[in-house]
């Protein structure tokens, strides 16, 4: 990876707020939807787009995050995953919040239902648990094996001190967190024009509208149309 370009990305990233953005010479505040770079989610998208499954009916998502995690950023991430996998915009939302726990029901314009069960309850050092299940008339696509909940690493090393774990992206950007690796990878694709920046700006605006609707739904206890 080009060190100068990577440094430029690092200087241009804005991680304040629920949506990470990237400033470029051509456009300002491009949303970095880095979770789309996750190998398992990419593979899910490939299977869905291939036509192997069809007739989306429900998307079930659960996410357990650390206690200091802003749930707004989690809602944005998982909402984008729903709409990206289903290739459909949001029609309405209904949300309930109980402290560090939030449940959101999203109806998409293609009539599919997305259910998000989110919580920021994990202690420092515990690994986040995220699961995505895409249910259709012709089958189910998941990013976990059926009976698995926790994330697993690609390589495990064991020694007297306990050991260490590594994943495939560590080969490219060793020493960085998994999310930071995905952020840099996605930002590089934006700089290299492999991803349409203007389309991301439109998507980011739509996600912020959904987040506002979720907040209003929690406050009013009613379904909110987008």
Mean pLDDT (the chain) is 88
Of 68-77, 147-156, 204-213, the one with minimum mean pLDDT is 147-156
Give the model's confidence band at 224: pLDDT under 50 very low, under 70 low, under 90 confident, else very high: very high
Give the model's confidence band at 83: pLDDT under 50 very low, under 70 low, under 90 confident, else very high: very high
Predicted local distance difference test score (pLDDT) of residue 213: 97
Give the model's confidence band at 16: pLDDT under 50 very low, under 70 low, under 90 confident, else very high: confident
- What residues does 101 pair with on adjacent strands? 98, 119
**Is 16 within the bounds of a domain?**
yes
**Is 226 within the bounds of a domain?**
no
Domain, as residue range, for 186:
3-221
Report the residue count for the chain.
226
Residue 63 contacts residue 129 (beta carbons within 8 Å): yes
The model carries a pTM of 0.87
**Domain count of the chain?**
1
> Which CATH number fits the domain that encloses residue 9?
3.30.360.10
For 185-195, the pLDDT digits (tens) are 899 899 888 99
**Is 165 within the bounds of a domain?**
yes
Tokens 């895409």, located at residue: 134
**Is 169 within the bounds of a domain?**
yes
């Amino acid at each position: 990876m080009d060190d100068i370009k990577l440094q430029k990305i690092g200087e241009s990233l804005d991680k304040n707020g629920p949506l990470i953005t990237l400033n470029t010479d051509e456009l300002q505040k491009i949303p970095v939807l880095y979770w789309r770079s996750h190998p398992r989610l990419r593979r899910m998208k490939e299977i869905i787009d291939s036509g192997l499954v069809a007739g989306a009916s429900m998307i079930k998502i659960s996410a357990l995050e650390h206690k200091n995690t802003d749930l707004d950023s989690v809602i944005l991430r998982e909402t984008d995953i729903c709409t990206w996998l289903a290739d459909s915009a949001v029609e309405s939302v209904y949300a309930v919040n109980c402290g560090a726990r939030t449940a959101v029901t999203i109806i998409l314009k293609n009539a599919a239902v997305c259910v998000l069960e989110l919580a920021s309850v994990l202690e420092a050092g515990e690994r986040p648990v995220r699961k995505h299940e895409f249910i259709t008339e012709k089958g189910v696509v998941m990013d976990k094996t059926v009976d698995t909940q926790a994330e697993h690493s690609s390589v495990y090393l064991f020694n007297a001190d306990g050991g260490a774990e590594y994943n495939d992206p560590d080969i490219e950007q060793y020493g960085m967190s998994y999310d930071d690796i995905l952020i840099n990878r996605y930002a590089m694709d934006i700089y290299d024009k492999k991803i349409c920046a203007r389309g991301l700006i439109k998507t980011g605006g739509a996600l912020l509208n959904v987040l506002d609707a979720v907040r209003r739904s929690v406050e009013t206890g009613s379904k909110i149309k987008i």
